[in-house]
């Protein structure tokens, strides 16, 4: 990827990004879906840029959101330079696993919101990162600087944050092309029968509750989760989940869909639990990626939080079989 700052007359400054050539295995993907991951924007955001003429092929040809990619396609993407961030740095402790000039890998605590939302600009991971890092990638705008992927508030574990746009674009492309691997550990209800499995569905926002996602038969986004049983305890099972896609609430929706909701997930399966845990027993345990600058493959683990470890210890002691 190459960045070039240009100006549009007396209008706003634009950040001009040249994408890497499309890989053969990415051919056939919709342009808006592909670029949403590459530039760290939503599909709606990409579609708006297309409508305004800020995205075009290197040969100058205009393309539509539903354009199907061809191998070696390369695009110019023009993004308005981020406006000054109106979110204040806060001295909030961070559990830092690794850090260098390009990336920071953290172990997010359960209960911490990743990025601010309207009316709530304090106490988030972004506030903490701004205090610690001073500089973050501006690709995701004023509310989500440096955030390449996110974890739900009540999901703990590993996240990677980009300190500059080069790292952000590279990492987003790895997530899109599935070369970055994210592994989760979950405690779910019920006895999962198959030792291994793959859940492959479409997921969309629930029309009855806009804060929830749901499996749909049409007009949804592809969502694929591989799972493997680690331990069985009769009424509960510990599973490892690997994401092939990264949809909102994906693991939580998928495990509920197959009849084994995540313990403590009051949004998708409200039920009183005999465990002391605030939020779902879901932990981002391992992250593997290629470093955007050195190109070395790196892998990091985050130990289970104390609340999940206590649940598993009690299960192993036979208290809830």
- Report the catalytic residues: 152
Question: What distance in Å separates the CA atoms of residue 310 and residue 305, rounded to the nearest whole number?
Answer: 9
Q: How far is CA 72 from CA 64, 75, 141, 164, 176, in A?
A: 17, 10, 28, 25, 16
Task: State the pairing for strand pair 181-189/282-290.
Answer: antiparallel
Distance of CA 151 to the CA centre of its chain: 6
Q: Are 240 and 260 in contact (CB under 8 A)?
A: no
Q: Are 253 and 214 in contact (CB under 8 A)?
A: yes
- In sequence order, what DSSP letters do the residues of 188-250 get, joined into one string? EES---SSEEEEEEEEEE-SS-TT-EEEESSSSEEEEEEEEEEEE-SSEEEEEEEESS--TTH
Question: What distance in Å separates the CA atoms of residue 317 and residue 127, rounded to the nearest whole number?
Answer: 40
Is residue 91 packed enough to be buried (19+ CB in 10 Å), middle (13-18) or exposed (0-12)?
exposed
């Amino acid at each position: 990827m190459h960045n070039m700052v240009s100006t549009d007359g007396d209008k706003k400054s634009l950040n001009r990004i040249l994408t890497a050539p499309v890989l053969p295995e990415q051919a056939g993907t919709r342009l808006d879906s592909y670029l949403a991951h590459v530039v760290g924007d939503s599909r709606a955001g990409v579609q708006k840029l297309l409508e305004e003429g800020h995205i075009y092929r290197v040969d100058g040809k205009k393309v539509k959101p539903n354009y199907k990619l061809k191998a070696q396609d390369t695009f110019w993407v023009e993004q308005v330079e981020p406006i000054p961030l109106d979110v204040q740095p806060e001295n909030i402790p961070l559990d830092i696993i690794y850090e260098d000039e390009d990336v920071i890998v953290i172990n997010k605590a359960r209960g911490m919101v990743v990025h601010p939302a309207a009316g709530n600009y304090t106490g988030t991971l972004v506030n903490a990162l701004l205090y610690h890092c001073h500089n973050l990638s501006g690709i995701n705008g004023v509310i989500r600087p440096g955030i390449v992927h996110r974890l739900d508030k009540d999901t703990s574990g590993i996240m990677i944050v980009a300190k500059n746009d080069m790292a952000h674009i590279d990492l987003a492309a790895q997530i899109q092309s599935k070369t970055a691997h994210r592994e989760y550990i979950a405690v779910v209800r019920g006895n999962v029968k198959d030792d291994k499995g793959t859940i492959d569905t479409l997921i969309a926002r629930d029309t009855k509750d806009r804060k929830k996602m749901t499996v749909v038969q049409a007009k949804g986004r592809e969502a694929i989760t591989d799972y493997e049983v680690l331990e069985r305890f009769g009424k509960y099972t510990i599973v490892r989940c690997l994401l092939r896609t990264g949809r909102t609430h994906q693991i939580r929706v998928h495990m509920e869909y197959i009849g084994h909701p995540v313990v403590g997930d009051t949004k998708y399966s409200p039920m009183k639990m005999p465990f002391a845990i605030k939020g779902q027993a879901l932990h981002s345990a391992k992250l593997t990626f290629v470093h955007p600058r050195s190109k070395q493959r790196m892998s990091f683990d985050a130990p289970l939080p104390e609340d999940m470890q206590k649940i598993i210890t009690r299960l192993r002691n036979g208290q809830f079989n």
